[in-house]
Homo-oligomer: A and B are copies of this chain.
Amino acid sequence: MVDNKPPEGAQKTESKKALKKEAKKAEKAQKKAEHKGSNQKENVAVEEDVSAGKYGNLPLIQSDPSSIQRIFTYIKDLNKSLAGNTVWVRARLHTQRARGKQCFIVLRQREFTVQALVNVSDTVSKFMVKFSSSISKESIVDLEAKVAEVPSGVAGCSQSDVELVVSQIWVVSASAPQLPLQIEDASRPEKEDEEGLNIRVNQDTRLDNRILDLRTPTNQALFRLEAGVCRLFRDILTKKGFVEFHSPKLFQQHPRGGANVFTVSYFKGSAYLAQSPQLYKQMAIAADFEKVFTVGAVFRAEDSNTHRHLTEFTGLDLEMAFQYHYHEVMLTIGNLFTEILKDYAISTVLKSIWLANSILPNHLPSWTHH
């Protein structure tokens, strides 16, 4: 399935009804602007808004099938090869900066960013530029624009060789004007920066506003890295003949192992949270599964506030019967790690963390494998 295709049955052109609605909205905005102008007695001649119906706030459509249906292009796919094409993009408004008759916008989607330009012209009114500069950061916008090559490159954007020349801009979902943290500040690398601002976001602010913090390129990349490691762990072991299973997390009896366990009120009695799938892995081997693995939550009741102790984490676990020598297991595990580390998908994600430049040094670690 191509990502940016609309679902089956979607109308490829905007419906007349919706267009009408939009036009009305824009007219209203225009009138408002005019009204404002007259109030301030700036003696501005009443101008016609050449962009009427091309910007504004989209109404809540509530899955109304007669609403507009646009085909969106992902920011990650914007590059020189699309130069000259007109595209629709739905993304977060990351930052914007108004400068005279222009408004520069940075749009963000996952870890990808692109610059968009709203520039007064025959078809773009100063009302539209003003509207663009007033949209609150983190709002979701729909933007119609022509892709334009930027030979000199756009600094600070992941898509640096193109920019978008905007012809329509609509706010799909406006964010609050004041946010508890700025994604820009949260995305700033930890390393010293001689020039420019060095605003940091504290850990507690990040955790209190986890949804915003997770929007930073580093966190986007970290979650993808985690998903990639789990996927490779499973794929490689499945290819080697391992069977995935899900072990119970609630134990009836207190396990006699070394780790501390959590007690759960289990109706009239007590149960305990599993601190490892060990018992079940071994049962699976005795039950002739031969090679098994499991990925799941494990719990440790260790009251240590260090970042090396977690009361809960996701465990990647395997168990296998060997024929003659425990080296068979060690070879399997060694090979598993090599395969995971050399996989292209993972190195791509590592690269995107590296681009985020926030938690890794300026070069990728290298490893050897055979």
Interface residues of A (CB under 8 A from B): 1, 3, 6-10, 61, 63, 65, 67-70, 72, 90, 92, 108-110, 210-215, 219-220, 223-224, 226-227, 230-231, 234, 238-241, 243-246, 248-250, 262-267, 271, 273, 283-284, 286-290, 295-297, 299, 301, 303, 311-312, 314, 323-328, 331
**A90 close to B323 (CB less than 8 A):** yes
**A312 close to B227 (CB less than 8 A):** no
Residues of B near A324 (CB, < 8 A) are: 6, 10, 61, 63, 67-69
22 pairs across A/B with beta carbons < 8 Å? A6-B324, A7-B327, A7-B328, A8-B331, A9-B327, A10-B325, A63-B327, A65-B325, A72-B323, A211-B283, A214-B287, A215-B287, A215-B288, A227-B238, A227-B243, A230-B244, A231-B238, A246-B297, A249-B299, A249-B312, A262-B264, A296-B297
CB distance from A209 to the nearest CB of B (A): 10
> Which of B63, B210, B214, B312 is within 8 Å of A325, CB to CB?
B63
Which of A70, A213, A245, A325 gathers the greatest number of chain B CB atoms within 10 Å? Answer: A325
**B250 close to A224 (CB less than 8 A):** no
**A6 close to B323 (CB less than 8 A):** yes
> Which of B72, B240, B312 is within 8 Å of A250, CB to CB?
B312
Residues of B near A68 (CB, < 8 A) are: 324
Residues of B near A6 (CB, < 8 A) are: 323-324
**B264 close to A245 (CB less than 8 A):** no
Cα A6 to Cα B331 in complex, Å, equals 11
CB distance from A90 to the nearest CB of B (A): 7
Residues of B near A226 (CB, < 8 A) are: 244-246
Q: Which 3 A-B pairs have the closest CB atoms?
A: A214-B287, A227-B244, A246-B314
Residues of B near A284 (CB, < 8 A) are: 214
Cα A69 to Cα B288 in complex, Å, equals 21
4 further A-B contacts with Cβ under 8 Å, apart from A6-B324, A63-B325, A265-B265, are A1-B239, A63-B327, A213-B287, A250-B299
Cα A284 to Cα B224 in complex, Å, equals 12
**A262 close to B265 (CB less than 8 A):** yes
CB distance from A348 to the nearest CB of B (A): 14
* A301 to B, closest residue via Cβ: B267
Residues of B near A325 (CB, < 8 A) are: 7, 10, 63, 65
Residues of B near A249 (CB, < 8 A) are: 249, 297, 299, 312
CB distance from A70 to the nearest CB of B (A): 8
Which of A249, A266, A271, A301 gathers the greatest number of chain B CB atoms within 10 Å? Answer: A249
**B262 close to A263 (CB less than 8 A):** no
Cα A284 to Cα B234 in complex, Å, equals 23
CB distance from A307 to the nearest CB of B (A): 16
CB distance from A273 to the nearest CB of B (A): 7
Cα A273 to Cα B264 in complex, Å, equals 9
Cα A227 to Cα B204 in complex, Å, equals 39
> Which of B3, B8, B240 is within 8 Å of A1, CB to CB?
B240
